[in-house]
Amino acid sequence: MTPASDSLSLWRPYLHELPVHHDPAFVNIDSLEKLLSTRTTRVLTSRNETRVRVTDVYDDHRGSSIHTTPESLHTALTTEPAIPDGVNVRIISIYSPDSIAPLKISPPLMALLLQRYAVHPAFLQVLFSFGRNVHIAEAGSSHVCVDARDTDTYISYQVNYVEEKQRRFIPWSWRHTGVYHHRHQPGHGKQGYDLFILLQPNETGVLDKRILSGLGILAGSRPQPSLDPVYGRDYPILLHSVVLSSFTCNWRWYLRHLGDQFEEYNNKALVALPEESTPRESYDMVSALRDLNDSALRAQICCRGNLDLVSVLKPAIASSLGMQFPASWKQNLRGYEALESTLQGYLKSCEELVPRIRNAIDLAGYTLSLHNQLDTAKVDRELRDLINHLKDLQQDTVDDSAAVKIITFLSAVYLPGSFVVSVYGMNFFDFNDESRQIVIAKDFWVFLATWLPLTMATGLIYVLIVWFDAWWKRKPFRLFQRPGKESMSQSETRVVHGEDSKCEIDI
């Protein structure tokens, strides 16, 4: 049997019983089967490790135990008395070492949990959100689902929030907590009960501490009347208020943290001079401001999602209470209205912060652009100076070339004569001892007749070579004309004049 078939056989008992407990028209068995067989490997642990707390509250009894082995958790899920006849409230908290780490429960135990309590399929969307950080595409979605019926009410949602950590460079972490609540209304001789499944990013979170302290389970804690089943029988409904109030206040301090960072970057951007700051400093500031803007946008989206969650939960809880306890409900209602007002205030803070961050980004970006323009103008000036230097060097080269041509031409005049003299052995001149004078020989015309044709032939050969070189290079034939300014190439002229005009515009 392949691992894929093993995974399918693991979830099929739960999937086959879903249409019996829930509306089959809204249960896509094929899609859920595919998701459970492919996504749970990232959400649930693949090791033999368990970290699940089971808290039971019924009548005047409150007890909590944490299970660290699969055997103990399996026993707790299978040997407890039937919930309608025994336990009034059961809270199952499944922990993860971190939001990006899988939950510490194995797939077989999770399949047993889902099957035994006929968990609503909407909770699977909350389950699949674990095993990774708060995704930007889902930051505004709470996956909230409320399915209210005559005998049962199912509530499932996810809370996205931030949590402060004692770390220097990353003092805040993104977290999410999943909540599932199944409320069975009493009737027909049966006792009502409530089941909670909490997916928590860590075991030391504030939510667990508040729940256990309120129930008087932790050592040294006293039960709170609002969470005591004797004094407040509707406390399971109040657990939603505990969940929401445990994380909502964090947004205030996180937004203040973002505001402090913004003030620091904004002050630097206002006093930064383009000619003094380096491109690396300007780029780092733009990068930091953009990261700050993304954090503010994510906080805005999460707060909006939490506000939508509170708006949906308020009428759902009112319907679940059935107005049986009007005094407690009125107090609970005021608490939800306060949460809505608080979240709306956070949204307004984000709406004020985001545009200011964008203005600072524009200012820092303009400083970086102006700095780049100054650097470009500096490079252009250096390039223009280099071109002028090359022009002078080229002119000196042309002058040297002209001098070489003259020397070459004179050599062509004198070289044949030297050649002829060496051939004839200097016999065209003689020294007369009597007259003390140099006497030209009678055969001197032989020298002239030899030298002049050779000189003309040498000069003609030189002219032909220069002409052939100009023709081969597609250049105008110039023998003795000195190149002037108009002889510069069009590309050099374009570079010089084009860069000059560009520098003038940028400056």
So what's the pLDDT on residue 94? Answer: 94
Quote the CA–CA distance of 245 and 255 in Å, as a whole number.
17
Confidence of residue 464 (pLDDT cuts 50, 70, 90): confident
Residue 231: is its pLDDT beyond 70? no
**Worst-scoring range by mean pLDDT, 115-119, 428-432, 490-494?**
490-494
Q: Are strands 193-200 and 172-184 parallel, antiparallel or unpaired?
A: antiparallel
- Distances in whole angstroms, Cα of residue 258 to Cα of each of 43, 172, 344, 350: 31, 10, 18, 10
Q: Is the pLDDT of residue 81 over 60?
A: no
CATH for 1-247 is 3.30.460.20
Closest CA to 503 of 323, 382, 346: 382
Between 109 and 100, the more confident residue is 109
> What is the spatial distance between Cα 349 and Cα 393, in angstroms, rounded to a whole number?
66
Beta bridge partners of 180: 156, 197
Give the pLDDT band of residue 481 (cuts 50, 70, 90). low
| Per-residue pLDDT, 331 | 65
Report DSSP letters for 49-89, one per residue: ---EEEEEEETTEEEEEEE-SHHHHHHHHHSSPPGGGS-SE
For 43-55, the pLDDT digits (tens) are: 998 888 899 999 8
Residue type, 316: A
Overall average pLDDT of the 264-276 stretch: 76
Domain boundaries, the chain: 1-247, 380-506
**How many other CB atoms are found less than 10 A from the CB of residue 419?**
15
Residue-wise pLDDT tens digits, 132-190? 777 777 777 788 998 887 778 899 999 999 988 877 778 898 888 999 999 876 654 45
| CB 165, CB 250: distance < 8 Å | no
| Nearest alpha carbon to residue 127 among 83, 82, 76, 92 | 92
**What confidence score (pLDDT) does residue 505 get?**
37
Return the pLDDT at 46.
84
Predicted local confidence at residue 186, as pLDDT:
64
User: Is residue 496 very low, low, confident or very high in pLDDT (cuts 50, 70, 90)?
Assistant: very low
**What average pLDDT does this structure show over 379-400?**
82
Mean pLDDT of the chain: 78
Per-residue pLDDT for 41 more than 80?
yes
